Structure 1
Amino acid sequence: MAKQFSGKRPKNLGRTLHAFGGYLGRHRVLLILVALLAAVSAAANLLGTYMIKPIVNQITQVGSVSGLVGGVALAAGIYAVGALSTLGYTQIMVRAAQKILRDIRHDLFAHLQTLPLRFFDSQRKGNLMSMFTNDVDTISDALNNSFAMLIQSFIQMVGTMLLLLILNWQLSILVFAGYAAMFLYIRYSTKRSKFYYAHQQTYLGELDGYIEEMVAGQKVVKVFNHEEANLEEFTRRNEMLRQAGTSAQSYAATMIPAVVSISYINYALIAVVGGIMVMMGWSDLGSLASYLVFVRQSAMPINQFTQQGNFLLAALAGAERIFDTMDEEPEVDEGTVEMVRLPEGSPSRWGWRDTAHPEAPVIPLRGDVRFENVSFGYESGQTILHGLSLYAKPGQKIAFVGSTGAGKTTITNLINRFYDVTEGCITYDGIDVRRIRKDDLRHSLGIVLQDTHLFTGTVADNIRFGKLDATQEEIEQAARIANADSFIRRLPQGYETMVTGDGANLSQGQRQLLAIARAAVADPPVLILDEATSSIDTRTEALIEKGMDRLMEGRTVFVIAHRLSTVRNANAIIVLEHGRIIERGDHDELLAQKGEYYQLYHGMFELS
């Protein structure tokens, strides 16, 4: 079975435990209280069992009824203290565990917000979701079931061994031999389980990612009759998870039966030898009675200890994935230039101020964007853009056309610094964009993507996403600019209509109009439209042309479009091929050249 899996055990168990310990330390007071109550519970159990000796001896040797009653009452009081301690630590542990899980989820989500887009491009959404669900759940199980139980089981194991020595050290030699056999098997089984638990978590994340993709793409699946092939792939992945889970649980499941079997053998042997010792007068009956109960119970703390080890193995495999993600380098922002509002009467509403040089004058934000010999590749050695040089003067509309993979979207990704250039530089009002703080840079840009994403909330909330403090009046004005106001008012609750399932209750064109309204409410000086009208029918497109013209008025606009209606009126059209500019000019100039643009125009009427 082991040969079927090539993965490794958790790479750095010490680092994972150290990171996990940091979260435990945040709630050390509660956890210390849990530990103390668990210790009291364990001690009460040990002391209650030890009380068998004096109670039995009171009957067999003294014959004192009052002594018997007093001993039983004392034992009952000890067990009551233990029960109350158990109730106390379980309730406290629940609260402490939930606080720790809250912190882990918060820190994981907060760190994800700081990671560069490159990270998300290389990760499946299902894997990321699995961290918040499966991995956090395994940590929850370990905290609720293992933390206090490990302390209690450890104290009971050590206490049982100590009391066994006190009661009869000769018999204890046989008991400890059985303990040694138990621990040798536990060590072997734990080693094998740890290996497969890591694979189980990995395969579970991959399976979740596959399910998420298939559910999201059901329309495409059904269009191409891909259900049977999808089921085969799901079956393959599910089988890999089954094999890993079976192997992990098989090794783990043998621990308890093995420990119990050894303890039964021990018990039978001790009962025979101990009985002989009592008959020979080498031990009293009370000591043997108490001793036999301890031997019978000795397997329980060991079983519990190994069982909690299973929870911990699964939790550590999941925790390692979470902490590995938290160790991912956040998006670097070394910019010192920030966007500031200029006084009334200034030539621009906004300006750029360099916080590293406060004495330098504020540069008005005009929207002058220039590429100077820019080269870029998403992966090392695979260049997408080659020595690109272009400019957009304030208020100009620049259109990019070309075949799929020519580098059109890559250019817009570089403007807003989703990625940084490999060579050359991009300037914004004469400032290298790498010197501008990313938050301020992106605040100055309005982007409408080809793939519209709407969030669960009202229509107004989705428009307000472009400007969180936008008033209702500003939201409605933005909707009018995008010509979305009329269809919004026809919705059941108008602007308060709930949007669910990424806008499943709206048409594709309506979703795109909301995305345009979202950009309009932000009122940015620079607009990036990445095939923003690709999902809108020609009637809807004609409806929004005037609104789009109003939105683009006085702004620098970059357009990636495949419809000629959005390209013809651009100040400059740049034709790209394999990351290089092969033609540039306005619509009439490019037609006159009878080059690539001419072929696209007369051959397709739509650019891709």
Structure 2
Amino acid sequence: MNKLVLKRLLSYTKPYRGFLVLALLCAVISVALSLLVPVLIGDAVDLIIGPGQVDFDGLPMILWWLAGCILGSSLFQWLMSYCTNVITYRTVKDLRIQLFNKLSAVPLKFIDQTAHGNIINRVVNDIDQVSDGLLQGFTQLFTGVVTILGTLLFMLFADPLITLVVVVLTPLSLFVASFIAKNSYKHFRNQTVTQGELTGYIEEMIGNQKLVKGFGYEERAEEKFGTINEKLYGQGQKAQFYSSLSNPCTRFVNAVVYAAVGIIGAVSAIYGRLTVGQISMFLSYANQYTKPFNEITGIVTQLQSAFASAQRVFAVLDEQPEIPDAPQALRKTSCEGRVELSDVSFSYDPERPLIENLNLLVHPGNRIAIVGPTGCGKTTLINLLMRFYDVSEGAISVDGTDIRNITRDSLRGSYGMVLQESWLFSGTVRDNIAYGKPDATDEEVKAAAKAAHAHGFIRRLPNGYDTVIAEDGGNLSQGQRQLLCIARVMLVDPPMLILDEATSNIDTRTELYVQEAFQRMMEGRTSFIVAHRLSTIKNADTILVMDKGHIIEQGNHRELLQKQGFYYRLYNSQFAASEDAS
């Protein structure tokens, strides 16, 4: 699994092969110069035989070469680090862009069914882990491999016997690294999954803190958080236990190699095969040879965590994208507003049918109100009209064309939608109103705000239309946020409207003004109105009463009251008491 993840990660570095080659070249030069240092030091030691036996004529030249090698090695080491940084951060930038673009392409079903905090964790934390792993991996890979091969080559030319001893002891380091990597990976993978679960829960609790406090859920929230956190602690402890073995184990192996080289070198010096300077050179090489193993096993923790995070990122990238527009899909530039649903069936879960055999014909300019109990399929019907979800059976057509044969952008551009849950982004009031029409003039923005009865409160803001709104409109009331969302739709002036509880968060007086604005706006436009407050839909041309995914009653307000059916009971449950009182 790690090999597949690594191979896929490395495929993202292809555009930066030039930096890859340069980094490898710099690593070779840097390591080669650093390997010359022990040779020069050994030569210098051999020129200092004892008191009164120092070759002062030969030493200066060696010292100059020594300084040059150290400076050169440091320079190329810096250049290699620069190249690996460029490769890593540009690769991660591309990966994060691809992931974000993928989130825009996946079906809405994936977003609905995945904890938002978990998604955020993958885009931010998991990719940061990948970044750290790649950076460490590239740096240690280039210098480590070149150092190992270069050291063996230098030692082989100097003394094959000692080189053989070092090579024989090498598998011990490889065995230790393999054991640690194998046992730590699964724990780091579990740790990363739990981190996503914890992030999702935190995002859920913080985003709904008013409800948490309102229902006295604090202690239960803390208890559940503690459970997830304890689970994360256990998995992290196991992962860190195995990864912490790397340093002492590799140091032990290094000590064995160093001791073996020292003993054999001393015996060789006794028999005159090596000089004292050559022994010092071999001891330096022993350290340089084992150091990469120590460093590589030291970053096993980082690499395993990076691989686990990369798997979570790739899991999103491998999600099936939204069904693309048909090759011959029509791009609507105008819309009459004739909508027809023919034998439409849909369910989020195949085991639990929701909408079955729904038929509906809406003529241009009709105002269609949709009412019914919670869970009857009102919002689902809106999702199908906007093609956020595709029907399971049947077809929906606009102006006689199946919406699956219309591009999604142009279909959704034909609707103006105001939802119960308002959404604003961090930016000026003007930018938020002009979200659907960025090139709108100031006069158009103000006209839309006036139509939505938002102009008055906007003028009272510190900087008027230039007032910066906090994230999700945190510095505005719920009603003010809703008015801005209504103004946003009024500015776009779409041929069809969807109003899903559009005035639910507005006071009664303002609602009357906004309803008047909506009435003017709906003139000549096909409109779908989802409402629980039946007073807002009395003027609808047709009222659809839905229950369990079926239209059980259909007609205008007066006709439905005369039938004295479901709508009659629903209406009386809201207004009978107040009418009797009056």
Same structural fold, with TM-score higher than 0.5 when normalized by the shorter chain:
yes
Secondary structure, counterpart of 2:391 in structure 1: coil
Q: Give ranges in structure 2 of 5+ residues lacking alignment.
A: 577-582
Q: How many correspondences in the alignment? A: 573
2:489 to 485, 501, 519: 519
- CA offsets 1:221-253 (integer angstroms, 9 cap, x no match): 111111111111111111222222222222112
CA contact (8 A) 1:416 1:441 kept: yes
Q: Which residue of 1 aligns with 2:85?
A: 94
2:311 alignment partner AA: E
Matched, 1:328 2:319: yes
The aligned residue for residue 535 of structure 2 is 565
Per the alignment, residue 126 of structure 1 pairs with 117
The CA deviation at 1:339 is 4.2
Equivalent position to 1:277, from 262, 268, 271: 268
What does the per-residue CA deviation read over 1:264-288, in whole Å, with 9 as the maximum and x for residues that have no partner? 2332343234223312323332222
**2:428 paired with 1:458:** yes
Match of 1:44 among 9, 27, 33: 33
* 211-220 vs 464-473, which moves further: 464-473
1:487 aligns with 2:457: yes
1:267 counterpart = 2:258: yes
The correspondence for 1:472, drawn from 435, 442, 447, is 442
Per the TM alignment, residue 92 of structure 1 is displaced from its structure 2 partner at its CA by: 3.3
Q: Which residue of 2 aligns with 1:201?
A: 192
Q: Which residue of 2 aligns with 1:601?
A: 571
Tell me if the contact between 2:147 and 2:288 (Cα under 8 Å) persists in the aligned partners.
Answer: no
Preserved CA contact (<8 Å) 1:572 1:586: yes
Gap regions ≥5 residues in structure 1: 1-11, 342-349, 351-364
Whether the 8 Å contact between 1:481 and 1:550 is mirrored in structure 2 is: no
- Compare 467-476 and 422-431 and name the one that shifted more: 467-476
- The answer on whether the counterparts of 2:45 and 2:277 sit within 8 Å (CA) in structure 1 is yes
| Residue in structure 1 matched with residue 396 of structure 2 by the alignment | 426
Which position in structure 2 is the counterpart of 1:338? Answer: 330
1:318 is aligned to 2:309: yes
- Secondary structure of 2:473's match? coil
Show the counterpart of 1:380.
Answer: 350
Structure 1: which 4+ aligned runs deviate by more than 6 Å? none
The answer as to whether partners of 1:397 and 1:556 remain within 8 angstroms in 2 is yes
In terms of mean alpha carbon deviation, does 447-456 or 312-321 score higher?
Answer: 312-321
Q: Is residue 576 from structure 1 mapped to residue 546 from structure 2 by the alignment? A: yes
Alpha-carbon spacing, 1:89–1:270, altered in 2? closer, same or farther (3 Å) = closer
Q: Which shows bigger deviation, 415-424 or 64-73?
A: 64-73
CA contact (8 A) 1:563 1:605 kept: no
| Contact preservation (8 Å) 1:58, 1:64 | yes
DSSP-derived class of the 1:559 partner = strand
Residue 24 (structure 1) aligned to one of 13, 28, 41? 13
Distance 1:420 1:258 in 2: 57
State the SS of the aligned residue for 1:286. Answer: helix
2:424 touches 2:481 (CA, 8 Å); kept in 1?
yes
Deviation for aligned residue 1:370? 1.1
Matched, 1:59 2:29: no
- Paired position in structure 1 for 2:579: none
Q: What does residue range 211-290 of structure 1 map to in structure 2 within 5 Å?
A: 211-290=202-281
Report if the CA contact (8 A) 2:38-2:280 is conserved: no
CA distance in 2: counterparts of 1:256 and 1:518, whole angstroms: 60
Task: Write out per-residue CA displacement over residues 164-185 of structure 1, whole angstroms, 9 at most, x where no aligned residue.
Answer: 3333333334433432222111
Who is 1:353 aligned against?
none
Q: Distance in 1 between matches of 2:299 and 2:34?
A: 19
CA distance in 2, matches of 1:143, 1:422: 44
Distance 1:334 1:267 in 2: 66
Q: Partner residue of 1:445?
A: 415
Q: Identity, % of aligned pairs?
A: 40
SS in 1 for 2:343: strand
Shift in Å, 1:325 = 1.4
Write the distance in 1 (CA, Å) between the matches of 2:274 and 2:430. Answer: 84
| Contact 2:243–2:301 under 8 Å retained in 1 | yes
SS of residue paired to 1:66: coil
Cα-to-partner distance string for 1:259-313 (whole Å, 9 max, x where unaligned): 1112223323432342233123233322222112222333311111222333222
Q: CA RMSD in A?
A: 1.9
In structure 1, the residue matched to 2:509 is 539
2:342 and 2:330 map into 1 onto residues whose CA distance is 22
Alpha-carbon distance between aligned partners in 2 of 1:327 and 1:88, rounded to the nearest angstrom: 36
> Among 526, 532, 535, which residue is 1:556 paired with?
526
State the partner residue of 1:528.
498
| TM-score scaled by length of structure 1 | 0.90
Query: Which is worse superposed, 308-317 or 386-395?
Result: 308-317
| Number of the residue aligned with 2:580 | none
What SS does structure 2 have at the residue aligned with 1:338?
coil
What is the SS of the residue equivalent to 1:465? Answer: helix
Matches within 5 A, 1:156-195: 156-195=147-186
One-letter amino acid of the counterpart of residue 569, structure 1: N
Provide the rounded CA distance (Å) in 2 between the counterparts of 1:307 and 1:239: 26
Q: What amino acid does structure 2 have at the position aligned with 1:261?
A: F
Distance (Å, rounded) in 2 between the aligned partners of 1:404 and 1:431: 31
C-alpha distance in 2, partners of 1:267/1:101?
39
Contact 1:338 / 1:436 at 8 angstroms: preserved in 2? yes
Contact 1:449 1:529 in 2 (8 A): yes
* Residues 1:15 and 1:467: Cα distance change in structure 2 (over 3 Å): farther
Residue range with higher mean Cα deviation, 285-294 or 506-515: 285-294
> What SS is found at the alignment partner of 1:535?
coil
Q: Which amino acid aligns with 1:137?
A: D
Q: What letter corresponds to residue 50 of structure 1 in structure 2?
A: V
Looking at structure 1, the residues matched to 331 and 43 of structure 2 have their Cα atoms a distance apart, in angstroms, of: 82
Letter in 2 for 1:49: P
Q: Which residue of 2 aligns with 1:4?
A: none
- Listed as ranges, the matches of 1:348-387 within 5 Å are 350=334, 365-387=335-357
